[in-house]
Structure 1
């Protein structure tokens, strides 16, 4: 089974690049099968990690960044892959 973990944060004004750099520097052990970084308006950063694991597996997740780097708490979701077209 493939599980995707989604991590999304909104950076403090003008600190989107810094938040993206911070997210890219985080090390997950074990490493995911795949890791992708995305950005959006309002200095939002999204990190998707893919794991070959059961849905309820205990998997490492990105932590909360320093409070001064973000405008709100990080949002996290877990998804199960159902199809790839």
Structure 2
């Protein structure tokens, strides 16, 4: 039905937006982690925190991409 297609398209857009936001966060964290000053002896704990955040964002991005692909597949199947 038309309503079902609209809902599926909205879900695809929502998933795509989430992926984009997580990609932006990942890039910002990667830039932060690339700063050699972050690895000074007196900032070891801070570096560990940023590495943990980066890992969490990467995991979230992987899940978000999988959800996005599933949403696209559902939409394509519904439009077929």
Which protein shows a greater Rg?
2
TM bucket normalised to smaller? under 0.3
TM-score by length of 2: 0.27
Q: Relative to total residues, which structure has the larger helix share, 1 or 2?
A: 2
TM-score by length of 1: 0.26
